[in-house]
Chain A
C-alpha cells in the first residue's frame, strides 16, 4: 500500500474534532514552521517537494507561490478552492468532511509562506453541511491559538473564513472564484493579469486546491525531499483518485503517482475490477473534461508501454491517443455503456454551467448538446457527426477560460475513438443500447 499522506487517519472516529486531530500529531507542522522557518523557507520546502496543483492543471505549487508579488504594500491573500464540481470528482469533500483540521493546518502554512493575514476557503454552495463542519473546526483552531492574533506567540496573525458560493461550476475557475468571493457575478476574468499580481480585491493572491493544501503539513513535517522521493518523474507524491462507474469498489483512493492503471482498475486494493465480470470499455481518467480513452489506450500507451497513473504517462501520445490526470475523477465504463449518451450527459452539464461571457462557449455548448440529443434519440445524420467535430474545434482555444476547452475535448475525443458508435446511432435511427 502506498504511503498515506492525505488519508492516513481518515477512519479514526472523531477526526474532525480538534482533540482527536491534535492527539494524532495535528498542527505540529505549524509549530515547526512558525518556530524554525522563515516564510521563504516554507516556500522552498514546497518547491523542493515537487508538489503540483491537484485542482486539475497540475501547476507546480512552489512555483506558483514564487510568482506572488511581494513588492506591493497591498495585503496578500491565500485562497482555498473548494468548489469541487467537476463530474466524477469527489475527493476534496472527503477531506473537508472528515479531516477539516488538516485543511486548516495547510491553510496556515500557505498563508504564512505567502505573508497573508486573511485567508479564505471558498466552498461550493451545495456542500453546506461541509461548511458547517469546517466552520466548527475553524472556531476550535481559534480557541486553541492556531488562528487569530499572534499564533502561538510567533508574532504571526491570521484570520481564516469559509465562504460558500451559490452553486456554480464556473466559480471553480480561479478568477471567477475571486469575483464571486468579492460578491460579484462569477465571471472568469480576462488574463493577464494573473491572480499572483492582481487577485482578490486587486491584491496579490494565490488560489490552491483543497488536496494541494492538505498535503502541506506532511511536507513541512517530513521535508520537501521526502515528498519528492514518492512518485515518478515529475509526478511527485500521492494523489487522491475518486473512482466511480462500473467497478466493484467505487471510492476514494490515495495512490502513489506512477501506479499502473491496470493495477488500479483490477487489483482488490483499489477498484477491484469491472463489476459482474463485465469488460472494460472506456475510461475518463481525470474528471469529465479530459479526453475519454478506450480500454486498449487507457491500459497501454499507443506504443505499447503500460499506462501509469501520472501526469506524464496519462498524457503520453497527446490528445491523439492520450488524456490527462486532471483532477483525478476516474470514471470507468463497461461494454453496456452508450458513449453517445454519456457524452450527451457531459454536454448538458457544460451547456448548463457556461457563464455565457464569450460567444464560442455560450453558443457552442448549447448547440453541441442539441445535436447530441438529436443523434442519441435517433434523428441524427452523418453530417451531424462532422458538425460536432467542427464546432468543438472552433470552441477550443478561442474562449476566455478553459471551460470552453473542457466542453470541447470530451466531444472531440469521443468521436475520435468511438466514431462507429455515433454512426450506428445514425444508421439504426436509434440508440443501439
Chain B
C-alpha cells in the first residue's frame, strides 16, 4: 500500500491508509500533537467525546482540495492523501480549544488540593495550557457524593469528565462490565448497576485510564502527594499479566503500584489487580531502576510551559 502524505502545522509526514490525524501527529511528535482527554490508542472505539483534539482541515486531500466545513476530531478522522491540517497554527482551533477546556471545567470541582490525581492530571495540564485565567461561571456546580465501587476503587463523580475510557476498559479487557453511564446530559454519571461492586482481575486499569481524579486507588488514597513519591520501573513473574509495573515509593515503602504510561499518559500494557493492589513489599519485585516520567505536568519538577497562542482574528459569523 502506498503511504499517504499529510501536512500538520506545516510539517509533512507519511502514514499508512486508515491512520487518524491524531496518530499522524503523534508520529511527528512534539507540539503538533493535539491534546487527548478521551482517545486511548489501546481501547477500540475510544475518542470523539471530549472534543479537545479538534483541528482544522484546510485542504481535504490532493483530489479534493476544499477545506472541511467544520473543525474535526483528530482522533476519529482518518487522513487522506494530501490532507493539510492546522492544529496550533490555527487561531480558530486554539480559540475553540480554550472554549472546550472551559466546558470541561464549568462543572468541575477543582479541588486539586485534596485530589489524589493532582500532579498527574490531564485536566490540570489542559487547563494550564489552554484555559482562561478567570472563571466566567458563577453557577452552582453539579455535585455527587463520592462512592466506593468495590473495595479497591473510589469514584469521585464530581471530577469525571465522561470520557468513557473506563467503560471501554471494562468492556474490552475485563470479562464482565458492571458499571456504565447512567442518566443523560450533564446529569449523567458513571455508576455501577444497582450498587454492584466492580470486582474483576483487571478492573484496576480503570484507575490508570481515567484522565482525572474521578477513579482513584483506595489503597493509595491520601497517603502522599505523587510528587513526593519516586517512581521505579519494576517487574515480577505474574501468571495473569505482563507483570511490568511502576512502583511509587517513599523511602523503602511502596505506596502505590500502577501500569507503565507512555508520553501521552497511556498504559503501555494493562496490569492485573494482583500486581496492582496486593504486592506492596519490595521483596515482591525486581526493581529495574528509576522511571523517567515524560509528562510536562508538575510531577516533573513543577515545570509547565504556557503555549503560545496565536492572536485571535475576529471570526466571521
Contact = CB atoms under 8 A, between A and B. Distances in A.
Nearest to B37: A359
A14 to B, nearest CB: 40
Contact of B188 (A356, A370, A390, A394): A356
A301 interface: no
A398 interface: yes
A353 B100 contact: no
Contacts of A387: 136
B139 A360 contact: no
A363 B105 CA distance: 9
B174 interface: no
Contacts of B137: 367
B122 interface: no
Contact of A351 (B54, B103, B185): B185
Interface in A360-398: 360, 362-367, 370-371, 387, 390-391, 393-394, 397-398
B43 to A, nearest CB: 14
Contacts of B99: 360, 390-391, 394, 398
Interface in B73-117: 73, 76, 95-96, 99-100, 103-104, 106-107
A168 B184 contact: yes
A81 interface: no
Contacts of A354: 184-186
A358 B51 contact: yes
A66 B274 CA distance: 54
A397 B49 CA distance: 14
A363 B186 contact: yes
B314 to A, nearest CB: 12
Interface string B116-149: 0000000000000000000011010000000000
B71 A397 contact: yes
Interface residues of A, number: 33
A370 B103 contact: no
A148 B106 CA distance: 54
A354, A359, A370, most chain B CB atoms within 10 A: A359
B162 interface: yes
A98 interface: no
Given A359-B100, A387-B136, A397 B185 contact: no
A367 B106 contact: yes
Interface in B16-64: 48-52, 54
Nearest to B136: A387
A278 interface: no
Contacts of A367: 103, 106, 137, 139
Given A362-B162, A367-B139, A387-B136, A355 B54 contact: no
A358 B100 CA distance: 10
B51 A356 contact: no
A400 interface: yes
B50, B106, B183, most chain A CB atoms within 10 A: B106
Contacts of B164: 357
A367 B136 CA distance: 10
Given A185-B181, A398-B54, A356 B186 contact: yes
Given A365-B186, A370-B139, A398-B100, A359 B49 contact: yes
B192 to A, nearest CB: 15
A118 interface: no
Contact of A398 (B71, B185, B315, B317): B71
B161 interface: yes
Contacts of A390: 99
A177 to B, nearest CB: 15
A168 B107 CA distance: 23
B51 A398 contact: yes
A168 B188 CA distance: 14
B70 interface: yes
B103 A363 contact: yes
A399 interface: yes
A2 interface: no
A364 B181 contact: no
Interface string A331-365: 00000000000000000000111111111101111
Given A363-B106, A366-B186, A357 B49 contact: yes
A358 B50 contact: yes
Nearest to B47: A190
24 contacts: A168-B184, A185-B181, A190-B73, A320-B317, A352-B185, A356-B186, A356-B188, A357-B49, A357-B164, A358-B48, A358-B50, A358-B51, A359-B50, A359-B51, A359-B52, A359-B100, A360-B100, A362-B186, A363-B107, A363-B186, A367-B103, A393-B315, A394-B95, A399-B51
10 closest A-B pairs (Cβ-Cβ)? Answer: A394-B99, A354-B185, A363-B103, A356-B188, A190-B48, A397-B70, A356-B185, A366-B186, A370-B139, A359-B103
Given A355-B184, A391-B99, 6 more contacts: A351-B185, A359-B100, A363-B103, A363-B106, A363-B186, A394-B96
